[in-house]
Amino acid sequence: MYRYDERDRTLVRERVRQFRHQTERYLAGELTDDQFRPLRLQNGLYIQRVAPMLRISVPYGLLSSAQLRRLAHIARNYDKGYAHFTTRQNVQFNWPRLEEVPDIRAELAEVEMHAIQTSGNCVRNITTDEFAGVAVDEIEDPRPWCELVRQWATFHPEFAFLPRKFKIAISGSASDRAAIAIHDIGLQLHRNAAGELGFRVLVGGGLGRTPMLGEPIREWLEPRHLRTYLDAILRLYNRYGRRDNKHKARIKILVKAWGAEEFARRVEAEWAHLKDGPGTVADAEIANVRRFFTDPAYDAEPAAATEVEIARLAEAERAFARWLERNVRPHRMPGYAAVVLSLKPIGVPPGDVTDAQLEAIADLAERYAFGEVRVTHHQNLVLADVRRSALHGLWRELRALGFATPTIGTLGDIICCPGGDFCSLANAKSIPIAEAIQREFDDLDYLYDLGDLSLNISGCMNACGHHHVGNIGILGVDKKGEEFYQIQVGGAAGSDAALGEVLGPSFYAPQVPRVIARILETYVDQRHDGETFLETYRRIGIEPFKESVYAKAA
């Protein structure tokens, strides 16, 4: 994992000092509300419905045990005893006291953490695949590039006052687990015909009011040109992105207005001036970053005996077998596995963890996974390097802690934004909807029979819950002060990304679980052998779903 050098430390320290100065001037009346707002947002501080919210950056989702313990300490001493993991792999505290925020920042800085650029019209945290470095289908480890882009984006002098927020995701595997198509820029590492590594560059993806998937503007970009190419894209966006209407200000609107081809042409023209300039990535520079992402000291012997034992235990304990099936992922090193910790037990808001749980996870990470944890954009956690021989022991501990809910990738693994319970922008509550659905469909045999199925919920058009790209998506809408839910089907977030289609008129909260039941029944009735929900939808279209929902739910 990346460790700060003197420059990183200096910058974070200077940032803490800068924001303290800004806050003092604001309180002294030297900065107006309007002037202070972007400054506090670029430091992760929101003023929310019930309390301030502080969003802390977790660069590309990586956390050490020491950092987890510090988050636990902050949750306990500065918040109400819990933290929330977001769909952008960050952490949020929903109840800090404004006057204590500077102390929280100082606590974070001690463990090389901060809240820099977690909000505001700037380049946000870079996100990636939670299985980076261990995935069996990995082409190249994206983490060194994530770190390089993190540095490039942090305090970039030209791009701190963009028309709107800007999100970048990087994937290094054949199958995209970073949802790069729904980011302002999506970067896919792959090899060209000559076998050389490069980036496919997508631009203009994003959800919200006008959801769009990113369009490819360059099939192959030599990695050393990454920064200058990004500079070219961002400069065009900074110069020509719309600033007259905040709902039309994302880069996707510019890409759409110009057309992807013209956009690509203009990027190339701008880049021609920057290419091979001082922003070019030197070999030594990427080599220096790469040395932070080398393999841990793997020493497990892949043993046939271990597999026999796992099979025996799975045979004996159904719950262990289920967990192996859904929550354990293959690892490129024989003898190892990656384990997903579910933060979706029924009755807990998706992504929420208590201080004690954070500490327990820190301990588990130390004992089982080289002291490192990853945050996923599905709001779960991953221990990426677990010895297969230790899986059963780990499972028992996870079960005791409540992290072994064996529903990863199923309907039970709902992505859900904080919604109306916390967020001041919400049109409707989202957490109670997630809970109602989890309760309605708590039969594991049924969930397993349904197989891979994503259900995403957002409390408003801003789409923090990625509802457009859920196989089933739920959006909270407000009609004359009443909360309603619009339902869509057919979305997908991975390599086959697609936006869902709206089913029809929206529903009251109590109707939602029954509507979902109809949708699922339609799938089960119509599916061919082995077809996933998405495959069935793609074959039969939306009509059969509409018919069953509106014929019967009326």
Partner 1 sequence: MPRLLKNRAFVADRWTRVAGDGDRRDADGPLLLPLGRWREQRTGLLALPPERLGIWLSGEEEPDAIGADVACFGCIAIHFPGFMDGRGFSCGRLLRERHGYRGELRASGDIIPDQLHYLWRCGFDAFELPDSVSLETALRCLDAFSTAYQTDARPAA
Work out whether 426 is an interface residue with ligand SF4 (CB under 6 A). Answer: yes
| Total residues binding partner 1 (CB under 8 A) | 34
Determine contact, residues 169/178, Cβ cutoff 8 Å.
yes
Q: Decide which of partner 1, ligand SF4, none touches 207; Cβ closer than 5 to 8 Å per partner kind.
A: none
Q: Given the rule CB under 6 A, which of 222-230, 387-395, 418-426, 511-519 is the region that contacts ligand SF4? A: 418-426
Tokens read off for 305: 């005996």
The rounded distance, in Å, linking the Cα atoms of 95 and 83 is 9
Is residue 286 close enough to count as binding partner 1 by CB under 8 A? no
Q: Which is nearer to ligand SF4, 118 or 458 (CB)?
A: 458
Among 78, 95, 155, 258, binds partner 1 (CB under 8 A): 155
Residues 6+ apart with CB under 8 A from 137: 173, 174, 175
In angstroms, rounded to a whole number, what is the distance separating the alpha carbons of residues 154 and 437?
40
- Select the residue interacting with partner 1 from 60, 131, 145, 152 (CB under 8 A): 152
Of 349 and 409, CB closest to ligand SF4: 349
**Stated length of the chain:** 554
C-alpha distance from residue 502 to each of 471, 508, 520 (Å): 12, 16, 16
Q: How far is the CB of 94 from ligand SF4 (least distance, A)?
A: 11
Alpha-carbon span 33 to 37, nearest angstrom: 6
- Kindly provide the residue ranges of all beta strands, DSSP E only, lying in 222-351, ordered along the sequence: 328-330, 336-341
Closest CA to 114 of 161, 67, 156: 67
Binds 139, which of ligand SF4, partner 1, none (CB < 5 to 8 A, cut-off by type)?
Answer: none
CB of 259 closer than 8 Å to CB of 217: no
CA-wise closest residue to 511 among 460, 461, 440, 442: 440
CB of 234: closest distance to partner 1 in angstroms?
9
Site for partner 1, residues 218 to 237, rule: CB under 8 A? 235
Pairing outcome for strands 372-375 and 62-64: antiparallel
The secondary element (H helix, E strand) that includes residue 110 is helix 101-110
Task: Answer with the entry of partner 1, ligand SF4, none that 121 interacts with (C-beta below 5 to 8 A by kind).
Answer: partner 1
Q: How far is the CB of 478 from ligand SF4 (least distance, A)?
A: 11
Instruction: Based on the shown chain and the rule CB under 8 A, indicate whether residue 504 belongs to the binding site for partner 1.
Output: no
User: Can you say whether the dihedral through the CA atoms of 237, 243, 244, 248 is positive or negative?
Assistant: positive
Shortest approach of ligand SF4 to residue 422 CB, angstroms? 8
Which listed residue (30, 110, 262, 547) binds partner 1 by CB under 8 A?
Answer: 30
Q: How far is the C-alpha of 241 from the C-alpha of 250, rounded, in Å?
A: 7
Q: Beta strand pairing status for 336-341 and 381-387?
A: antiparallel
140-166 residues labelled b (16+ CB within 10 A) or e (exposed): bbbbbbbbbbbbbbbebeebbebbbbb
Residue number with CB closer to partner 1 (11 or 51): 11
Q: Name the amino acid, one letter, at 414.
A: I
**Could you tell me which stretch among 13-21, 253-261, 420-428, 519-527 binds ligand SF4 (CB under 6 A)?**
420-428
Closer to partner 1 at the Cβ: 243 or 546? 243
Sites for partner 1 among residues 162-221 (CB under 8 A): 162
CB of 165 closer than 8 Å to CB of 183: no
Task: Tell me the chain's radius of gyration from C-alpha atoms.
Answer: 23
Q: Which is nearer to ligand SF4, 86 or 471 (CB)?
A: 86
Site residues for partner 1, window 88-127 (CB under 8 A)?
A: 121
Q: Is 425 in the site for ligand SF4 (CB under 6 A)?
A: yes
Number of other CB atoms surrounding residue 221 within 10 Å: 18
320 close to 314: Cβ distance less than 8 angstroms: yes
Q: Does 247 bind partner 1 (CB under 8 A)?
A: no
Is residue 465 at the binding interface for ligand SF4, with CB under 6 A as the rule? yes
Q: Is 351 in the site for ligand SF4 (CB under 6 A)?
A: no
* Binding window for ligand SF4 (CB under 6 A); candidates: 53-61, 139-147, 329-337, 461-469: 461-469
Interacting residue with ligand SF4 among 201, 364, 463, 520 (CB under 6 A): 463
Which of 39, 286, 502, 509 binds partner 1 (CB under 8 A)? It is 39
Residue with Cβ nearer ligand SF4 (63 or 460): 460
Binding partner 1 (rule: CB under 8 A), the pick from 273, 312, 396, 439 is 273
Q: Could you tell me how many helices (H) and strands (E) the chain has, helices first?
A: 18, 20
Q: Which is nearer to partner 1, 279 or 402 (CB)?
A: 279
The answer to whether 342 and 348 have CB atoms below 8 angstroms apart is no
Q: Give me the 464-483 binding string for partner 1, x by CB under 8 A, dash otherwise.
A: --------------------
192-206 b/e with 16+ CB inside 10 Å = b? Answer: eeeeeebbbbbbbbb
- Look at residue 462 and give the partner it binds from partner 1, ligand SF4, none, a contact being a CB closer than 5 to 8 Å depending on partner kind: ligand SF4
Residue 18, binding choice from ligand SF4, partner 1, none, Cβ under 5 to 8 Å by partner class: partner 1
Q: Which residues contact 102 (CB under 8 A, 6 or more apart)?
A: 16, 19, 20, 23
For helices 251-258 and 226-240, angle between their N-to-C axes, nearest 10 degrees? 80
Residues between 483 and 502 that touch ligand SF4 (CB under 6 A):
none
Determine contact, residues 144/178, Cβ cutoff 8 Å. no
Q: Pick the stretch among 147-155, 210-218, 257-265, 463-471 that binds partner 1 (CB under 8 A).
A: 147-155
Q: Is 10 in the site for partner 1 (CB under 8 A)?
A: yes
Residues that bind partner 1 (CB under 8 A): 7, 10-11, 14-15, 18, 21-22, 25, 30-31, 35, 38-39, 121, 151-152, 154-162, 235, 238-239, 243, 273, 277-279
Residues that bind ligand SF4 (CB under 6 A): 417-419, 423, 425-426, 458-460, 462-465
